[in-house]
Amino acid sequence: MYLNSTQPKPDSSAASAPPPHGNAKAIAAFLEILAAGPRDRTCVFNPWRDSDDRDQTPRRSMPERRRGNMAAYLAARATKARFLLLGEAPSHRGCRFSGIAFCSETELVHKARLVAPQPLVLTSAGAPERLQRERSAAVIWGELERAEAAFDVVLWNAFPWHPYRPEAAPGEEIEGPCGPTSNRKPRLTEVADGRAALSALLACFSHTLEIVAVGKVAENALARWGAFRSAGYIRHPAQGGEAQFRAGFRSLIASRL
């Protein structure tokens, strides 16, 4: 569902011009990598290729619309972004539906002018009445808005696709949620697939981005990959880390804008 004219208008100060031709080609190449997904797709949902009964109908069209959301998000930052916040992996309520890391449908509606100059698309079956929301996304976008830094910072994950817990086998009892409506920490072999995606993502921008790890999974991934210099570490906002994330963001990024 496309956001209608009653939603917040884009900020006129945002970079609304189309990206240079080279940026557009890089974004297209990056989206191809996302759609292809990781080598091992076991218990992994690919927001840019997959769909299920949690999506709007026609379900098969939703991955393409999420790719469109991502393309618009990147194009709005192609010539301005200076920093990249690298997290762990998408959750089943955020990027899985928006197509944008650390961003839920709630941000697409209520912070629309900060996400992209043009209207983006809601893809969950419950939208717009029941928007998907993610607490970490709310914290991060709150800081981006406070610092007026929405177009200076790119959000991404070490493992870009959504990893989830396997369904219980017949007769097996599992505590907590499982299946595509659950989250899990990505395995090291999975995170390794994120390296090529990050390289392709960085090629979408005119400036060299400073990469700040958000959480230990991202910090360890940058250390193992070696090809990317880490500009620092910030505590992930999940699991009681909101205050530490805010302090780290304001110190490492907001103070330099």
Residues 6+ apart with CB under 8 A from 251: none
Question: How high is the pLDDT of residue 21?
Answer: 56
Does the structure show a pLDDT above 50 at 253? yes
Question: How high is the pLDDT of residue 255?
Answer: 96
79: left (phi over 0), alpha (psi -120 to 50) or beta: alpha
Does the structure show a pLDDT above 80 at 10? no
Does the structure show a pLDDT above 90 at 172? no
pLDDT for 96-107, tens place per residue? 999 999 999 999
pLDDT for 20-41, tens place per residue? 556 899 999 999 999 999 999 9
Alpha carbons within 13 angstroms on the beta-carbon side of residue 149 total 22
Question: How high is the pLDDT of residue 99?
Answer: 98
Question: How high is the pLDDT of residue 178?
Answer: 80
Least Cα distance to 136 among 89, 177, 194 occurs for 89
Euclidean distance between CA atoms 96 and 104, whole angstroms: 8
Collapsed DSSP state (helix, strand, coil) of residue 162: strand
Euclidean distance between CA atoms 249 and 25, whole angstroms: 31
Residues 6+ apart with CB under 8 A from 93: 104, 132, 133, 134
Who wins on pLDDT, 18 or 145? 145
The secondary structure element, H or E, covering residue 30 is: helix 21-36
What is the mean pLDDT of the segment spanning 122-145? 97
Instruction: Write the DSSP symbol of residue 181.
Output: G
Starting from the edge strand earliest in sequence, which strands make up the sheet with 153-157, in order?
Answer: 153-157, 83-87, 210-214, 230-234
Question: How high is the pLDDT of residue 3?
Answer: 53
Query: What's the start-to-end Cα distance of the chain, in Å?
Result: 35
In the block, residue with structure tokens 């607490």: 135
Question: How high is the pLDDT of residue 4?
Answer: 39
What is the mean pLDDT of the segment spanning 59-64? 97
Could you tell me what percent of the chain has a pLDDT over 70? Answer: 88
Where exactly are the structural domains of the chain? 21-256
The H helix count followed by the E strand count for the chain is 10, 6
pLDDT for 47-60, tens place per residue? 999 999 999 999 99
Beta-strand (E) ranges in 199-250?
Answer: 210-214, 230-234
Question: How high is the pLDDT of residue 19?
Answer: 52
Fold of 21-256: Uracil-DNA Glycosylase, subunit E (3.40.470)
pLDDT for 189-201, tens place per residue? 999 999 999 999 9
What is the mean pLDDT of the segment spanning 76-102? 97
Question: How high is the pLDDT of residue 90?
Answer: 97
